């Protein structure tokens, strides 16, 4: 992208990239002698701008003196009463700091004024560099280099085909879900038979590689339900059929992609002792079970109705998520856009901070796990591009979130909780929480707009295929 700007300078010539003749001065722009600031030159190279600035030393000196006097009225120094510190002493102690602050304020204020006058949207933060002149000169020159938001055209989604899953929630799915909830609430009774899949076993084990115990290879009184996948499948299969008090030795090869890199792809020898076997006892589907699931009167049919409603709500959410993912990817794939580096860098920092916070919440010290920004680069690029595209789609099609849409979304979210009215109150107590809801509404508005434009095909999909492992 190459763009040319017309900017009025104070007693200076304008140099514009891509122009062979000097443009006529614009009467709309106003000089800013009171701020000691002048625009001298504009250079534009594919979204990067460098603007030459001039700070008038006379104006700078006045602002410096004023700020120093204000500081002298409040500064506390040993040997002087408050407000009685000589200005010379204050200047010796704080002069450099005040000088930097005054210069920084002048640059920031007037740079902002220039951006507003020229209707520029800056991405990230400008980089100011001194280019010439001293306080003894009439002016001090600086350059300000910054990125601007790119100009682009949103890709045509009319050519895109969106595949929308069609899923039926049957009574069989309700039964399967209730069975899963029964297993989640199972109790266990000790038995004296051989261990079988579904049993909870208590074991001791020791693993060695090349005769040496490896980290994580020893466990005592480890309780695990066989078949849940907490341990490697090949390990659990060796425990199936063992008797209480029995011991067993076997070899196991760790997968090449095992999360523990020090043992991945290696073969270990395990010694396992089975200490206890307990079989599951599932609660019956009765009034007590219904009450356990939150049905106050224990009505089993009411419980089944609520389970079905929750399933249908989850099915709808997953279908919407799959459709939305397709639309977002289509917008990215069909829009020519270069993400500003400054915005990508800021997004990388946010993602790193979020990861550190997540690690800290799990009790892991993030300082011990260095995070290379490069691993977030691709995701940050996508987020920035998508954010810019969505903002343009919303603006061009008037898809902003309306108050009634926000309230409807809050009500929908609240229905998944036992006390919906409290959840609604909780959302409206925090502007930040409401902004999250507004973002969700905006995304839905974009999806609705895209579905009305794109080619949509409905595809019959099995319940298990949509729900994935959660349906097992």
Q: Closest Cα to residue 38, out of 57, 25, 23, 53?
A: 53
Q: How confident is the model at residue 133 (pLDDT cuts 50, 70, 90)?
A: low
The predicted-structure confidence for 264-311, as pLDDT tens digits, reads as follows: 999 999 999 999 999 999 999 999 999 999 899 999 999 999 999 999
User: And the tokens for 304?
Assistant: 């089944």
Comparison of pLDDT for 470 and 89, the residue scoring more: 89
Q: What is the pTM of this model?
A: 0.66
What is the Cα–Cα distance from 332 to 155, expressed in whole angstroms? 8
For the chain, what percent of residues have pLDDT higher than 90?
50
13: phi then psi, degrees, rounded to nearest 5: -95, 145
Please state, in angstroms and rounded to a whole number, the distance separating the CA atoms of residues 267 and 252.
Answer: 6
C-alpha 182/C-alpha 198 separation (Å) is 13
Sign of CA dihedral 411, 413, 416, 422: negative
Q: What is the pLDDT of residue 54?
A: 67
- Residue 295, SS3 per DSSP: coil
Question: SS3 string of 424-451?
Answer: HHHHHCCHHHHHHHHHHHHHHHHHHHHH
Radius of gyration of the chain (CA): 34
Of 234, 176, 187, 246, the C-alpha closest to 207 is 234
Position 458 confidence tier, pLDDT thresholds 50, 70, 90:
very high
**Tokens 């507003």 sit on residue:** 116
User: 264-268: long-range contacts (C-beta < 8 A, 24 or more apart)?
Assistant: 266/209, 267/209, 268/207, 268/208, 268/209, 268/214, 268/217
Domains of the chain: 33-148 (3.30.70.1050), 186-281 (3.10.50.40), 289-471 (1.10.3120.10)
| 148 vs 179, residue with greater confidence | 179
Helix (H, G, I), strand (E, B) or coil at 108: helix
């Amino acid at each position: 992208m190459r763009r040319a700007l017309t900017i009025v300078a104070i007693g200076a010539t304008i140099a514009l990239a891509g122009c062979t003749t000097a443009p006529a001065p614009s009467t709309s722009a106003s000089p800013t002698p009171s701020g000691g600031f002048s625009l001298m030159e504009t250079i534009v190279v594919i979204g990067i701008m460098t603007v030459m600035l001039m700070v008038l030393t006379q104006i700078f000196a006045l602002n410096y003196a004023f700020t120093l006097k204000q500081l002298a009225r409040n500064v506390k120094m040993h040997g002087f009463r408050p407000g009685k510190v000589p200005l010379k002493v204050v200047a010796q102690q704080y002069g450099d700091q005040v000088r930097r602050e005054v210069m920084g304020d002048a640059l920031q204020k007037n740079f902002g004024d220039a951006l507003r006058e020229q209707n520029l949207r800056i991405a990230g933060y400008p980089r100011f560099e001194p280019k010439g002149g001293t306080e003894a000169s009439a002016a001090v020159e600086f350059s300000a280099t910054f990125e601007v938001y790119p100009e682009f055209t949103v890709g045509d989604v009319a050519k895109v085909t969106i595949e929308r899953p069609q899923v039926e929630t049957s009574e069989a799915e309700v039964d399967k879900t209730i069975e899963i909830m029964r297993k989640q609430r199972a109790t266990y009774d000790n038995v004296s038979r051989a261990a079988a899949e579904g049993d909870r076993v208590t074991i001791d084990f020791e693993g060695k590689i090349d005769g040496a115990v490896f980290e994580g290879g020893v466990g005592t009184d480890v309780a695990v339900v066989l078949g849940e996948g907490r341990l490697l499948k090949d390990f659990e299969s060796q425990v199936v059929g063992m008797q209480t008090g029995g011991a067993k030795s076997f070899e196991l090869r760790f997968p090449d992609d095992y999360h523990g890199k020090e043992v991945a792809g290696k073969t270990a020898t395990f010694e396992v002792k089975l200490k206890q076997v307990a079989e599951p006892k599932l609660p019956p589907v009765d009034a007590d079970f219904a009450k356990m699931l939150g049905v106050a009167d224990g009505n089993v049919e009411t419980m089944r109705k609520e389970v079905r409603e929750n399933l249908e709500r989850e099915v709808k959410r997953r279908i919407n998520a799959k459709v939305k993912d397709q639309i977002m990817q289509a917008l990215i794939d069909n829009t020519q856009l270069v993400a500003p580096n400054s915005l990508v860098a800021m997004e990388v920092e946010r993602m790193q901070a979020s990861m550190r916070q997540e690690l800290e919440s799990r009790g892991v010290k993030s300082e011990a796990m260095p995070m290379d920004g490069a691993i977030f680069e691709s995701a940050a690029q996508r987020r920035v591009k998508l954010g810019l595209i969505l903002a343009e789609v919303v603006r061009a099609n008037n898809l902003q979130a309306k108050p009634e849409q926000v309230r409807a979304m809050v009500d929908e979210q609240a229905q998944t909780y036992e006390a919906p009215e409290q959840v609604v109150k909780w959302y409206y107590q925090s502007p930040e929480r409401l902004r999250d809801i507004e973002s969700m509404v905006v995304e839905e508005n974009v999806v609705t707009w895209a579905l009305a434009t794109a080619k949509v095909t409905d595809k019959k999909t099995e319940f298990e295929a949509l729900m994935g492992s959660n349906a097992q």
